[in-house]
Amino acid sequence: MADARAQEIAAALDLRALPADFYANPYPVYAALREAEPVRRMPDGSFFLTRHADLVAVYRDAQAFSSDKKVEFEPKYGAASALFEHHTTSLVFNDPPLHTRVRKLIMGALTRRAIADMEPGLLTLVDGLLDAMEARGSGDLVEDFASAIPVEIIGNLLGVPHADRAPLRGWSLAILGALEPRLTPEQEALGNHSVREFTAYLRDLVADRRRHPGDPEHDVLTRLIGSEGRGEQLSETELLQNCVFILNAGHETTTNLIGNALVALQEQPAALAGLLSGIKGLAHDAQGLEALLAPAVDEFLRFESSNQLSNRRALVDANIGGVDMPAGSLLTLCIGAANRDPAQFAQPDELDLARRDNRHLAFGFGIHQCAGLSLARLEGRIAIGRFLQRFPGYRLTASPTRGGRARFRGFLKAPFSII
The pTM of the full predicted model, rounded to 2 decimals, is: 0.92
Measured distance CA(168)–CA(161) in Å, rounded: 12
Tally Cβ neighbours within 10 Å of residue 295.
16
Per the CB < 8 A criterion, the answer to whether 31 and 336 are in contact is no
Measured distance CA(46)–CA(29) in Å, rounded: 18
Measured distance CA(170)–CA(165) in Å, rounded: 10
User: What residue ranges do the domains of the chain occupy?
Assistant: 1-32, 64-300+366-417
Which residues partner with 411 through β-bridges? 402
Give the pLDDT confidence of 200-235 residue by residue, as tens digits. 999 999 999 999 998 887 788 888 887 654 556 778
Q: List the 415-417 sheet strands across, edge first.
A: 138-140, 415-417, 395-396
Residues 103, 178, 172, 340: is their CA dihedral positive or negative?
Answer: negative
Give the pLDDT confidence of 138-165 residue by residue, as tens digits. 999 999 999 999 999 988 888 899 999 9
CATH 1.10.630.10 for domain 64-300+366-417: yes
Phi, then psi, of 343 in degrees rounded to 5: -70, -20
Burial class (CB in 10 A: 0-12, 13-18, 19+), 233: middle
Residue 256: predicted pLDDT: 95
Alpha helices in 98-219 (DSSP H): 98-107, 112-136, 148-158, 168-177, 185-211
In a structure prediction context, what are the per-residue pLDDT tens digits for the chain, which is 419 residues long? Answer: 788 999 999 999 999 999 999 999 999 999 999 999 999 999 999 999 999 999 999 999 999 999 999 999 999 999 999 999 999 998 889 888 888 888 887 777 778 888 888 899 999 999 999 999 999 999 999 999 999 999 999 888 888 999 999 999 899 989 998 998 888 999 999 999 999 999 999 999 999 999 999 888 778 888 888 765 455 677 889 889 988 988 888 888 899 999 999 999 999 999 999 999 999 988 788 899 999 999 999 999 999 999 999 999 999 999 999 999 999 999 999 999 999 999 999 999 999 999 999 999 999 999 888 888 999 999 999 999 999 999 999 999 999 999 888 999 999 999 999 97
Tally Cβ neighbours within 10 Å of residue 288.
14
